[in-house]
Structure 1
Amino acid sequence: MFSGCAAEADHRPRFASLAAAAVAVPLLLTGCNAEKDLDLSSTYVEQTEPADTLYNQGLANLNAGRMKEAVAKFEAVDQQHPYSEFARKALLMHTFANYRQGNYSEAIGSGERYVSLYPTSEDAAYAQYLVGLANFRQIREVTQDQRESRRTIEAMEQVVQRWPDSEYVPDAQAKIRYARDQLAGKEMQVGRYYLERREYIAAIKRFRGVVEDYSDTRHVEEALARLTEAYYAMGIVSEAQTAAAVLGHNFPESDWYKDAYALLQSGGLEPRENSGSWLSRAASAITGS
């Protein structure tokens, strides 16, 4: 059986700092005189370093390739000197260091925080660009989920729309094109799956989505050819002819057009555009020849 004082000693909390210990020790002495010789030598005192010192140490680590140490220093600036000018700069470098280290989720989080806190800063465009790059680096094969492609487009469109004169716009636009191509490729993969299973309505929906939403990607040629194939298989001849006609008008030298043309000829038909078709209306957006 423990005495009251012994029980109190056994359950005494470990103090995180000297300041906390200084407040708590008198209370313990009052409750139990046996604690009057309490040893405080093991308590930890957190040292606060100047903001510029921490920031420069972070830059030195960054330049030396010690990304983990750089991140720690930039975080220390933010924690010990919040709302300071060095905290602002450290947050940007924290984003960059995490990106270079491959910590993409952390880079996205701190980059978005920077833009939220400092939207008018001269470095806001770069922070948003880093968010886009961190998403871009995570884009998966077209056979897998494409949520990172969508997030890349969202992030890079912010760069283009909010900072149109930024030096990062050209590359942001290139990354958007790539991500859109990935999304179109995913739609094509699913569409081909349905076409092989002769689920023509589901296949047409996917191919139509590529023509209407991703007409500026390299997948539009195949999408038009597949539409020719799917409509022809369903006996919807007019739409099959229109798909082939739009394909031939925009990509006359394409192998996909040759295949679509041969398919129609096998049934005694030829490409012919129906001006009332959705394909005819969508044709104006296609970036072919």
Structure 2
Amino acid sequence: MRLIHPNRGAMAAVLLALCGVGLGGCDALDSINPFAEKYKPEVVPDVPADKLYSEGLARMEDKDYEGAAKKFGELDKAYSYSDWSRRALLMTAYSNYEGQKYDDAISASKRYLQRHPASKDAAYAQYLMAMSHYKQIPDVTRDQDRSEKALAGLQELVQKYPTSEYAADAKAKIQITRDQLAGKEMEVGRFYLERRNFPAAINRFRDVVSKYQTTRHAEEALERLVEAYMALGITAEAQTAAAVLGHNFPDSPWYKDAFALLQNGGLEPREEKTSWLSKVYRGVIGRTAEAQ
């Protein structure tokens, strides 16, 4: 078989005609020639980095937080992986936080921590991320996913950056967030208690006592445990709950209610050493008794 070669002159004429159409023709030439090298011009930012940064700051001063975030975002993209980019990314997070665009602030903070985990400003990025969750904590009647994320972020801040200037505020907000989570458990526990679903109620109050015993809800949770255990006839646990309540909060009105409830059943507060409550408060009752 004889191979037929294309007419080189005719092919050249076609290619020249394509280019003669204009730039679009030359693009077509590239598209039919897979071996041609693509020219990739270097993109040089039109605006100097310091000018973009100043424009972002100016918008921040005018409380145009959305515009500021946009400017800092432009700076981050135009000068990627530079020190300007690092600063711009943190300012993007801060602008979004101030503008109450908390999810955007969280995203920018996360990117900053991923790119610059050892930066001197990493603690602040962590603080912005945690506070963006914290600012979205709902009331106790709603899902507490934000509260849990806020707690995790604040705890991570304290653990990773214990000497940072944000640690003290984080610790205070950790207690507030824990109180919020305990409040949610109490609300659900009361719901079950009112409907006489005592095992479900006990599980909720048990979580409060086990996880959030330093919150203001601990007293009520212990008294509610006395109620639920008495209703089920589990008197040893009821007596232990009352004993723990009395030793830790002797002047609490919740203890008075628990004591009266036990008395009506011919019982009194008494620790059962094998109780899970005794293990949670291990040593508390014993140390108090010794002190007396």
TM-score for both structures, normalised by structure 2: 0.82
* 1:110-259 equivalent positions in 2, closer than 5 A: 110-259=108-257
Closer/same/farther in 2, CA of residues 196 and 285 from structure 1, 3 Å limit: farther
> Which structure 1 residue ranges, 5 or more long, are not aligned?
1-21, 30-44
Contact 2:45–2:78 at 8 Å: present in 1 too? no
- Residue 52, structure 1, aligned to residue 45, structure 2: no
Would the aligned equivalents of 2:113 and 2:125 in 1 still touch at CA under 8 Å? Answer: yes
Q: Compared with structure 1, are the counterparts of its residues 264 and 109 closer, same or farther at alpha carbon in structure 2 (3 Å cutoff)?
A: same
Partner of 1:24: 24
Displaced runs of 4+ in structure 1, greater than 6 A?
Answer: none
| CA apart distance, 1:174 | 1.3
Distance 1:111 1:47 in 2: 25
- Alignment partners' CA distance in 2, 1:142 and 1:277: 30
How far the C-alpha of 1:28 sits from its partner, in A, is 7.8
Q: 2:82 aligns with which of 65, 84, 89?
A: 84
Alpha carbons 2:229, 2:238 under 8 Å: kept: yes
CA deviation profile, 1:211-267 (whole Å, cap 9, x unmatched) = 111111111101100000000011111111110010000000101001101111111
RMSD: 2.0
TM superposition shift of 1:276: 1.5
Match of 2:266 in 1: 268
Question: For the Cα contact (< 8 Å) 1:215–1:285, is it kept in 2?
Answer: no
Cα deviation, 1:101-149, whole Å, max 9, x if unaligned, reads: 0000000000011011001111000000000110000000011000001
Contact 1:160 1:172 in 2 (8 A): yes
Task: Provide closer, same or farther for how the CA distance between residues 67 and 160 of structure 1 changes in structure 2, counting only shifts above 3 A.
Answer: same
Per-residue CA distance 1:35-83 (angstroms, 9 max, x = gap) = xxxxxxxxxx997211111011101111221212111110110111111
Matched with 1:102 is 100
- Which of 1 and 2 has greater Rg? 2
Percent identical: 52
Partner of 1:19: none
Contact 1:225 1:244 in 2 (8 A): yes
The residue aligned with 2:10 is: none
- Residues in 2 aligned to 1:212 and 1:228: alpha-carbon distance in whole angstroms: 15
Q: Which amino acid aligns with 1:119?
A: P
Distance in 1 of aligned mates of 2:214 and 2:23: 68
Change (3 A) 1:285 1:159: farther
Structure 1 range deviating more: 114-123 or 57-66 = 57-66
Residue 102 of structure 1 aligns to a residue whose secondary structure is coil
SS of alignment partner, residue 244 of structure 2? helix
For 2:223 and 2:46, how far apart are their aligned partners in 1? 67
Normalised to the residue count of structure 1, the TM-score between the two structures is: 0.83
Secondary structure at the aligned position of 1:79 is classed as helix
Equivalent residue, structure 2, for 1:40:
none
Tell me the amino acid that sits aligned with residue 106 of structure 2.
I
CA distance in 2, matches of 1:209, 1:28: 69
**Is 1:244–1:272's contact at 8 Å kept on the other side of the alignment?**
yes
Alpha-carbon distance in structure 2 between the residues aligned to 1:285 and 1:134? 39
**1:24 shift after superposition:** 2.7
For 1:24, give the aligned amino acid. G
